[in-house]
Amino acid sequence: MHVLNWTFYGNSMERWLLAVGVAALVTVVLLFARRVLGSRLSALANRTTNDLDNLIADVFKHTHGFFLLFIGLFIGARLLQLPDRALDVLRIATIFAFLIQVALWGNVFIQRLIEDYAKKRLEDDAAMATTVRFAGFIARMTLWVVIVLVALDNLNIHVTTLVAGLGVGGIAVALAVQNILGDLFASLSIVLDKPFVIGDFIIVNDLMGTVEHVGLKTTRLRSLGGEQLVFANSDLLKSRIRNYKRMFERRIVFTFGVLYQTPRETLEKIPGIVKEIIGALEDTRVDRAHFARFGPSSLDFEAVYYVLKPDYNVYMDRQQDINLELMRRFEDMGVEFAYPTQTIFVESAEPAAEEGGAK
C-alpha cells in the first residue's frame, strides 16, 4: 500500500501508525494494571488491620491517567526518528508529568498519614493532633515547592536567581496581603501556644462553641444551637477567650431569700443546713454559707461551693439537688422563701377642729 510509504517528519506512515499503536497499547495496559492492582490492594487492605497497606492502596488509587498516557507516548516516540528539539519537548513534558504525579502521591501520603495519626491522638492529646495537622500543611507546601524547583531546574532556569528575585518581590506581595499573612501567623501562634485545641469548649466575647477546626486563616466552632461559627485567627488572638474544657472544678455562688417574719433562731440555723445539704452530695466541696444582707423584701443568704467536675450537666444536677432538698427542709421548718412584695403603711390624719368652735 503506497499510503504507508508516505513520509512525515522523516518517518513513514507505517512507522507513525506503529508508534501510535504501541503508545495506545502501553497506555491501555497500564490503565488495566492500575485498575487490577488497585482492586487487589483495596481487597488486601480490607482484610487486614495494618494501616500501612491502607495507606499504600489509597496512594495507588491516585495514579492519574495523564501520567500513564505520557509514559505510553514516550515509549511510542522511541520508535520514531524525531528532531532533537521534539525529543527534548517530549522528555520535559514526561518529566513534568512524573513530577506532578510524585507531588500528588506525596500529598495523599502526607494527608492520609497526618489524618490517621491525628485521629489516634485526638482523644488522648488534642493539642498534639492540632500541631500535627499544621505540620502536615507545612510538609505538603514544602513538597510542592521542591517539585516546582526541580521542574524549573529541568527547564534550565537558574533557581538561585529566581529565588533572589522572588525575595525582593515578596516584600511587595507581603504588604498587599498583610491581613492574610496576619491570620497565617496567628494560626501558627495558636498551634504552638495552644490557647485552645480541637474539642475545647470556648467563649469568645458573647459567642461560644466547641472547636471543630483550626485552619490557616480561620478557626471554626460548633455552637450550642448547632450553627457553625467562623473566626479569623488574628481576631481570636486579640480577644479574651474563656476555655471551659480546661476547667478542673467549677465555683458556684447562689443566693436565696426568706421572709422578714422568719424568727432569729431559725435564721441562725439556715447556714448550717445549707452546708449540710451541699456536703452530703457527691463531687461537691462546700466553701461557705452566710446570712449576707437585708434585701428590699427578703433576708438574703449567700452560699459558695465547688463542683469537682467541670461538666456543666453535673453542675446543674447538683444545683437541682440542693434546691429540692432546701425546699424540703424549709417546709419541715415552716420557713417560707421570699418573693418581691411591698408593704404600704397608711397614717390617717386627725380631723381639723371646726373654725370658731362649736356653737
* Domain identity same for 29 and 94: yes
53-111 pLDDT, tens digit per residue, is: 677 777 777 788 778 887 888 787 777 777 777 777 778 888 888 888 888 888 888 87
- CATH number for the domain that contains residue 207: 2.30.30.60
CB of 114 closer than 8 Å to CB of 132: yes
Lowest mean pLDDT among 29-43, 139-153, 166-180, 243-257: 166-180
* Domain identity same for 239 and 254: no
Residue 346 confidence (pLDDT):
75
Residue 123 confidence (pLDDT):
59
- CATH number for the domain that contains residue 266: 3.30.70.100
The answer to the question of residue 162 being in a domain is no
The answer to the question of residue 19 being in a domain is yes
* Domain identity same for 228 and 299: no
269-292 pLDDT, tens digit per residue, is: 999 999 999 999 999 999 999 999
Average pLDDT for residues 119-133, to the nearest whole number?
Answer: 62
Q: Quick one: CA torsion of 10, 14, 15, 16, rounded to 10 degrees?
A: 80
Domain that holds residue 143: 2-154
* Domain identity same for 140 and 258: no
The answer to the question of residue 169 being in a domain is no
The total number of structural domains in the chain stands at 3
Residue 4 confidence (pLDDT):
55
Residue 162 confidence (pLDDT):
56
pTM: 0.49
Q: Which of 4-8, 19-23, 147-151, 296-300 has the highest mean pLDDT?
A: 296-300
More confident residue, 8 or 198: 198
Confidence of residue 251 (pLDDT cuts 50, 70, 90): very high
150-200 pLDDT, tens digit per residue, is: 777 777 766 666 555 555 555 555 544 556 667 777 777 887 778 888 888
Angle between helix 178-193 and 126-154 (nearest 10): 130
Residue 12 confidence (pLDDT):
65
CB under 8 A, 24+ apart: contacts of 281-286? 281/318, 281/321, 281/322, 283/307, 283/308, 283/309, 283/314, 283/318, 284/308, 284/318, 285/249
% of the chain beyond a pLDDT of 90: 26
189-233 pLDDT, tens digit per residue, is: 887 778 888 888 899 988 999 998 888 788 999 998 889 999 988
Residue 359 confidence (pLDDT):
45
Give per-residue burial for 285-311: e unless 16+ CB within 10 Å, then b. Answer: ebeebeeeeeeeebbbbbbebbbebee
* Domain identity same for 10 and 116: yes
* Domain identity same for 199 and 268: no
Mean model confidence pLDDT for the chain: 79
* Domain identity same for 235 and 311: no
Confidence of residue 114 (pLDDT cuts 50, 70, 90): confident
